[in-house]
Structure 1
């Protein structure tokens, strides 16, 4: 493949679960050669996080989980036993040939293997070394194990998610993990730019908690400015009204009125002229202050039309409105289909078949994303990578396998 933005960049990927693999998958989508390093016989923990699993040619479950598939395409899998001296030596040889190392071990975890940033930086001064943890490399929580759920709780998002009066609710996917992976990938790209100019590598410290605090976004700054602690509002918005889910004649729709002009257009389409002229609701600031009064009056109008009537009628008038799709409806949506957000890639575990994946959402006119590798099976590319990266022959590959440093797939 040619012409990809990160072509020629090689990543030594010591990550597992979701945050780290999301980061490295994203970079792999843009052309980086991502070498996913896994424990022999075990691999990434998420390989076992199922069902569902990929179905083999016989229709039976394989050992490749859907969870693992979601964050590991465009990578090559190598098994290395980092607990052995031979495995550590092999890892250091490989790292010398790489531009970037990404890891999500506990703080200090790689020090035991001689693979911390401090261990490597003198010999590899241009190496970009990114550590992804639950709580960062410093501070009182640094030694703790961190998971997305904990970050969502500690970082405040659960306190403003869900319906008022019920227990705190997390976001339906591991969003702190995903966003940490995205922040880490951006930081790596910035560090690459710095290295290109100066030749200097550096250590990047990303964590789930910092990421979660950062994407409190407007609600976080609302608190910092006002001193008022935000509360859960269900589907409502703290600063925009009307903005919520409404029941209509045959289901539910989302209405997201972002300005006064859109509000007036909604009133006209709904036949709610009295709400358009009511002084309590004439500006967004007034609607926010009087949200309960407005929301008490709107259902009488919303239930008069169907989902399709609201969505089509308001879209043609420039007023944001949407159905509430389940996941099946998402992938059947004509816009999602038109944007190519489902891809199918050949996969060894599926025999002659393919596995379905969610596409990278970025569309680039000159260097489009290419799907070069399906999420690899455990150790699928060990022999290939050792030959490509280190130029070693079959005899040395076999010797490494016999030493316990790695396992080689025949």
Structure 2
């Protein structure tokens, strides 16, 4: 048994953040019914890159965030389609949506309308800026939230301009926030006996990640400057270039300073009482970083990592994506999973990274074809007869 078996999620969301959240919960055992627009589906079904198969083409973007779900097509602009959603919501534990603020209210699918149908429903609204506040009706994407939430101002080389991280951090972390919100609300329902409405703002989610930067502002009134891979409050903590042009990230505390200096041949620094404490090294940042960099530049990446491992200094090679996915530890931990898809054959994905003792581990199943489960879900959950489903199709409600 997987941890979330028995939990039913009605997923009206599209694109990345919320589909990522519902995929995680699906692979933990929840039944996720993904509602998509008839004919086109989630717009990411048309996103690049495309996997070309013998029986058709599929978006790898869609595949990455929609495994293990059931696809039902419903026209939310149709009165009959809206009634289908109300029926499914009445039988669900969770409804997840990421429409612009106010959209579902116009369709009669907002929390206040659905609550009388199912007072235990956990209704999660994920919007750009939340249901309230001066930005509530503002539009935004991942990079906009990165920009406005502060992370982009912190990212980049010293003295250079702002840089976005290499992954859609705002979308991905919002998906994790949403998953936490759903599980929290479900647990709260066990105590209160009733559901709730969760108002999650992706902008709020990014502000909530400022953590150390916010603590420095609250404590020191400091607006952190961009430092590349360096840490504002710890030395050593940075990426260093090696003799072979490859890079290693070293992050250590006071107890690592002496062994690091010794493995680098910096004997004088290893015993210098004015460098034993982090605060003292911070005061001499330029000198210390230059000295470490010069010493490390004499060693290859492999040799530096070997020496660090031998004396317990935390260090790791900076790996490209292909190196990560081919890494021996990644293979041993079975982080790459495979599934068979009816259009493209075997394809790979990344597993939900949990291992359970006493419960079954997450299970990765293929993403659904558009509308693949419409008839099965409507007949099983709503009890509709084949003729009734055909009528809905004729009315273009599904």
> Which TM-score applies when normalising by structure 1?
0.94
Q: Distance in 2 between matches of 1:105 and 1:141?
A: 15
- Asked if the contact 2:21–2:178 (Cα under 8 Å) also holds between the matched residues in 1, the reply is yes
Alignment of 1:124 onto 2:98: no
Tell me which residue corresponds to 1:381.
373
- Asked if the contact 1:245–1:252 (Cα under 8 Å) also holds between the matched residues in 2, the reply is no
Which of 339, 347, 353 is matched with 1:355 structurally? 347
Tell me which residue corresponds to 1:315.
309
The answer for unaligned runs of 5 or more in structure 2 is none
Tell me which residue corresponds to 1:162.
156
Instruction: Provide, for residues 355-395 of structure 1, a one-character-per-residue CA deviation record: whole Å limited to 9, x for no partner.
Output: 11111111112223343531112111111211221222222
Which deviates further from its counterpart, 367-376 or 23-32? Answer: 367-376
- Asked if the contact 1:146–1:208 (Cα under 8 Å) also holds between the matched residues in 2, the reply is no
Which of 322, 325, 337 is matched with 2:331 structurally? 337
Instruction: Provide, for residues 167-218 of structure 1, a one-character-per-residue CA deviation record: whole Å limited to 9, x for no partner.
Output: 2111111111111111111111111112122321000011111110111111
Alignment of 1:181 onto 2:175: yes
* CA apart distance, 1:251: 2.5
1:2-151 equivalences in 2 (<5 Å) = 3-50=1-48, 52-57=49-54, 62=57, 64-151=58-145
Which of 237, 242, 251 is matched with 1:243 structurally? 237
Instruction: Provide, for residues 117-167 of structure 1, a one-character-per-residue CA deviation record: whole Å limited to 9, x for no partner.
Output: 111112211100000011111100010112111100001101110112332
The answer for unaligned runs of 5 or more in structure 1 is none
- Asked if the contact 2:122–2:197 (Cα under 8 Å) also holds between the matched residues in 1, the reply is yes
Q: Distance in 1 between matches of 2:372 and 2:342?
A: 9
What is the Cα-based RMSD across aligned positions, in Å?
1.4
Tell me which residue corresponds to 2:194.
200
- Asked if the contact 2:170–2:206 (Cα under 8 Å) also holds between the matched residues in 1, the reply is yes
- Asked if the contact 1:248–1:302 (Cα under 8 Å) also holds between the matched residues in 2, the reply is yes
- Asked if the contact 2:242–2:248 (Cα under 8 Å) also holds between the matched residues in 1, the reply is no
- Asked if the contact 1:242–1:255 (Cα under 8 Å) also holds between the matched residues in 2, the reply is no
* CA apart distance, 1:285: 1.1
* CA apart distance, 1:348: 1.8
- Asked if the contact 1:10–1:34 (Cα under 8 Å) also holds between the matched residues in 2, the reply is yes
1:153-302 equivalences in 2 (<5 Å) = 153-302=147-296
- Asked if the contact 1:387–1:393 (Cα under 8 Å) also holds between the matched residues in 2, the reply is yes
- Inter-CA distance 328–255: structure 2 relative to 1 (3 Å threshold): closer
Q: Distance in 2 between matches of 1:241 and 1:252?
A: 21
> Which TM-score applies when normalising by structure 2?
0.97
Instruction: Provide, for residues 301-333 of structure 1, a one-character-per-residue CA deviation record: whole Å limited to 9, x for no partner.
Output: 112211111112211211111111110000111
Tell me which residue corresponds to 1:402.
394
- Asked if the contact 1:155–1:213 (Cα under 8 Å) also holds between the matched residues in 2, the reply is yes
- Inter-CA distance 189–306: structure 2 relative to 1 (3 Å threshold): same
* CA apart distance, 1:46: 1.3
Count matched residues.
398
Q: Distance in 1 between matches of 2:122 and 2:70?
A: 20
* CA apart distance, 1:114: 0.2
Q: Secondary structure at the match of 2:33?
A: strand
Q: Secondary structure at the match of 2:147?
A: helix
Q: Distance in 1 between matches of 2:129 and 2:14?
A: 16
- Asked if the contact 2:229–2:238 (Cα under 8 Å) also holds between the matched residues in 1, the reply is yes
Tell me which residue corresponds to 1:364.
356
Q: Distance in 1 between matches of 2:291 and 2:265?
A: 13
- Asked if the contact 1:73–1:371 (Cα under 8 Å) also holds between the matched residues in 2, the reply is no
Q: Distance in 2 between matches of 1:234 and 1:79?
A: 46
* CA apart distance, 1:296: 1.5
Alignment of 1:305 onto 2:299: yes
- Asked if the contact 1:80–1:405 (Cα under 8 Å) also holds between the matched residues in 2, the reply is yes
Q: Secondary structure at the match of 1:21?
A: helix
- Asked if the contact 2:351–2:364 (Cα under 8 Å) also holds between the matched residues in 1, the reply is no
